[in-house]
Chain A
C-alpha cells in the first residue's frame, strides 16, 4: 500500500530531480541551526509564499482559472481561527477545522456562480478581485471581528513552544510552515498524477475539447477552486498566529493576492517546483535590495519597490514561461520539470 503510493508519486521522476529535492529538503530542515532568527523569519515568509503559491497554482496552473482574489481565503482562515482563539480559547488546529470549510464553501460559491453563468477568463479574475474587496470592506465594518481597529492575539512570553496553541519562537513556526509546504507539495503532486489532475490539464489546454471528450468541466473546475481555497485557508491561520494582528486593510488587500501569485508566475506556472523557486527568488530579491540599500545608506521610501518592479519586468520579458522550466532545462532535467 505505502510502496504503491510512493511508486505513484515518485515514479518517472529522474534520479537527479529526486536528489535535488532531497538535498533541498535536508538543507531546509537544517536551516534553523545554521541561520539566525532574522534569516529564519525570512525563510518563514518564503515558505509562506511557496505554500500559498502552490495553492494558487492548483487553480491557475493546473485548471487554468485565473484567480486574483486568493487573499479572501487566507483572510477568512485568519479571521475565523483568530476570533475562535481570542473569544473562546479554541486552538488554531481546531480553528483551522472550522475555517477550512468556510473558505472552501466561499471558493465553491464563487466558482459555482462564475462557472454556471459563464463568467470566464478576465471576467472570472475580476469577479475574484471583487469578492476579496467586498470582504475587505465588509470586515472593516464587522464589529464581531473588531472592524478596522484590528484583531489582536494575546502575545505572552512562553517558556516553551506550545505547538498545540501555536505559541512559540520563530523556529517552531518555521517547522510548521515547512511541514505545510511539504504536505502541499506532495498533495499537488498526487493531484497532478490523479485522474482529476489530468482532467484539469485538459480543461486548461482546451476546455471545449475537454468537454467534447466527456469531461464534466464544471465539476472539475469546482474541485480546483474548492481545493485551492481550502489549502489557502491554512496559510491564513498560520498568518494570524505568526503575526498576532489582523487588519482587514492588510489581510484582504489585493497586494496579498498579488504576492501569492507572483511566486508561481515567476517560478513557472503549472509546475510543482515553480511556486517554491519563485518564492525564494522574489523574497530573496526583496531582501537583497533591502540590504544593498542599507549598505549604500540609501533611505528612500519606494526606491526598493521600483527596483523590485524593474526586476519583475525583466524576468517577465526575458523568461515568459518562468524561471523553473528554463532552469530545469539548464540542469538537464528536460521533460521532468512538472
Chain B
C-alpha cells in the first residue's frame, strides 16, 4: 500500500485517539483523586451522546455548540453522583465500589434503552461528508473538529489543575488525603467536584464522539473497557498519559482496521494493554505507587 494511505489512516487514528484521550482523561482524573475506578464511565458518555443526538434532532443544535452545555449537565450529574452515592464508598474495598458502579451502569444503560429503544441514532451534520485536502492528506472535517475540540478541552483542564486555587486544592487531596484534611480543605466537596470534572470530560468526549460514531444504549460497556485500556496504557492517574494512551490506542485501532479486519481492532488494543501491564505496570507515563 502506498505511503499516503498510511498517512491518512494515521491522521484519522490520531484525531479519533484525541477524543478517546479526553474520555480517558475523565477516568484518570477521577481515579487519580478520588481513588475510585469508575466502572460506569462509558455509560456516562452514552448519556452525553444521547443528549447531543436529541438536541440535534429536536432543535437542530450543532453538537459542537452544545459541547459546553452538555459538559455542564454531565458535571452536575457527576457531582451529585459522588456527593450522594459514591462518597461513603471511598473507604470500602474495591469490589464493593465495583458493585456500586456496576449497578449504576446497569441503571443508566437500561434507562437509555427504555427512553430511546435499541436502534442506533446518529447526528447528520451539514459537514458530515466534508473534508480538507492538504497535498495527499485528506482529513474528515468532523474528525478534525472533534480532535481540535478535544485538545482545547484538555488544555483548559490542564490549566485548571495547574493555575487555579481550586485545581491546586484538588491536587493536594490527591497527593495527601490526611494532609488536605489537616489544612482545612473540604475534601468531600472537592471529591464531588473532581467526579463532576471527570464526568464533564467524558461528556465533552461523548458529544464529539457523536460526530464519529452512531450511538446505541449498549455502547456504554464497550467504551468503559476502552477507557480502562487507554488509561492503564498511559498510566492511571497521569493526565498527559491518558491523552497519549488515547492517541496510541486510536492509532492501533486505525492500523489494525486497515491491515487486518476492523472487527478485530480492539483485540490489538487489549494486546497492547497486556504488554504494557507486563512491561511497565504503572503505564507509559505513570508513576509507580509506593
Across the interface, name the chain A residue whose C-beta is closest to B105.
A309
Question: Which residues from chain A sit less than 8 Å from chain B, CB to CB?
Answer: 60, 66, 68, 113-114, 117-119, 121-123, 125-127, 129-131, 133-134, 137-138, 140-141, 254-255, 258, 261-262, 265-266, 269, 300-303, 305-306, 308-310, 312-313, 316-317, 320
Subset of 8 A-B contacts with CB under 8 Å = A123-B277, A123-B281, A125-B98, A126-B232, A134-B274, A262-B102, A303-B114, A305-B107
In-complex Cβ contact of A60 among B88, B95, B111, B279 (8 A)? B95
Minimum Cβ distance to chain A for residue B232 (Å): 6
Digitize B246-290: 1 where CB-to-A-CB distance is under 8 Å, 0 elsewhere. 000000000000000101101100110110011101000000000
Q: Does B109 contact A (CB under 8 A)?
A: yes
A66-B94 Cα distance, complex, nearest whole Å? 8
Known: A130-B229, A134-B267, A137-B264. A305 touches B109 (CB 8 A): yes
B117 partner residues in chain A, CB cutoff 8 A: 301
Chain B residues numbered 90-116 whose CB sits less than 8 Å from any CB in chain A: 92, 94-96, 98-100, 102-107, 109-114
Minimum Cβ distance to chain B for residue A300 (Å): 6
Across the interface, name the chain B residue whose C-beta is closest to A140.
B263
Q: Is A302's CB under 8 angstroms from B277's CB?
A: no
A133-B265 Cα distance, complex, nearest whole Å? 12
A117-B229 Cα distance, complex, nearest whole Å? 18
In-complex Cβ contact of B270 among A130, A141, A309 (8 A)? A130
Known: A123-B232, A131-B274, A303-B110. A312 touches B99 (CB 8 A): yes
10 closest A-B pairs by CB = A302-B113, A309-B106, A302-B110, A309-B107, A312-B103, A305-B110, A137-B267, A313-B103, A302-B114, A134-B270
Known: A125-B94, A269-B95. A133 touches B266 (CB 8 A): yes
Known: A123-B277, A134-B274, A302-B114. A312 touches B267 (CB 8 A): no
A300 partner residues in chain B, CB cutoff 8 A: 114
Q: Is B110's CB under 8 angstroms from A309's CB?
A: yes
In-complex Cβ contact of A133 among B110, B225, B281 (8 A)? B225
Q: Is B118's CB under 8 angstroms from A317's CB?
A: no
Q: Does B228 contact A (CB under 8 A)?
A: yes
B118 partner residues in chain A, CB cutoff 8 A: 301
B211 partner residues in chain A, CB cutoff 8 A: none
A269-B99 Cα distance, complex, nearest whole Å? 12
Residues of chain B at interface, number, CB under 8 A: 44
Q: Secondary structure of the B side of the interface?
A: helix
A269 partner residues in chain B, CB cutoff 8 A: 95
Q: Is B277's CB under 8 angstroms from A119's CB?
A: yes
A131-B99 Cα distance, complex, nearest whole Å? 21
Number of residue pairs across A and B with beta carbons under 8 Å?
126
Known: A122-B37, A138-B267, A302-B113. A129 touches B225 (CB 8 A): yes
Q: Is B94's CB under 8 angstroms from A118's CB?
A: no
Q: Is B278's CB under 8 angstroms from A119's CB?
A: yes
Q: Is A117's CB under 8 angstroms from B264's CB?
A: no
Question: Which residues from chain B sit less than 8 Å from chain A, CB to CB?
Answer: 37, 85, 88, 92, 94-96, 98-100, 102-107, 109-114, 117-118, 217, 221, 225, 228-229, 232, 236, 261, 263-264, 266-267, 270-271, 273-274, 277-279, 281
Q: Is B94's CB under 8 angstroms from A113's CB?
A: no
A130-B221 Cα distance, complex, nearest whole Å? 13
B95 partner residues in chain A, CB cutoff 8 A: 60, 66, 261, 265, 269
Minimum Cβ distance to chain B for residue A162 (Å): 38
Q: Is A121's CB under 8 angstroms from B277's CB?
A: no
Q: Is B114's CB under 8 angstroms from A313's CB?
A: no
A313-B92 Cα distance, complex, nearest whole Å? 15
Q: Is B99's CB under 8 angstroms from A113's CB?
A: no
Q: Is B106's CB under 8 angstroms from A305's CB?
A: yes
Q: Is B102's CB under 8 angstroms from A126's CB?
A: no
Q: Is A308's CB under 8 angstroms from B106's CB?
A: yes
B271 partner residues in chain A, CB cutoff 8 A: 134
Minimum Cβ distance to chain A for residue B88 (Å): 8
A138-B267 Cα distance, complex, nearest whole Å? 7
A122 partner residues in chain B, CB cutoff 8 A: 37, 94, 236
Across the interface, name the chain A residue whose C-beta is closest to B112.
A302
In-complex Cβ contact of A130 among B92, B102, B113, B274 (8 A)? B274
Minimum Cβ distance to chain B for residue A41 (Å): 23
A301-B118 Cα distance, complex, nearest whole Å? 9
Across the interface, name the chain B residue whose C-beta is closest to A134.
B270
Greatest chain B CB density within 10 A among A118, A122, A305 is at A122
Greatest chain B CB density within 10 A among A258, A262, A316 is at A316
B102 partner residues in chain A, CB cutoff 8 A: 258, 262, 312
A121 partner residues in chain B, CB cutoff 8 A: 94
In-complex Cβ contact of A302 among B96, B99, B103, B111 (8 A)? B111
A308 partner residues in chain B, CB cutoff 8 A: 106
In-complex Cβ contact of A141 among B106, B261, B274 (8 A)? B261
A117-B96 Cα distance, complex, nearest whole Å? 26
Minimum Cβ distance to chain A for residue B91 (Å): 10
Q: Is B113's CB under 8 angstroms from A126's CB?
A: no
Q: Is B263's CB under 8 angstroms from A309's CB?
A: no
Minimum Cβ distance to chain A for residue B289 (Å): 9
A133-B221 Cα distance, complex, nearest whole Å? 12
B281 partner residues in chain A, CB cutoff 8 A: 117-119, 123
B96 partner residues in chain A, CB cutoff 8 A: 265, 316, 320
A60 partner residues in chain B, CB cutoff 8 A: 95
A149-B221 Cα distance, complex, nearest whole Å? 23
Across the interface, name the chain B residue whose C-beta is closest to A314.
B103
Minimum Cβ distance to chain B for residue A119 (Å): 5
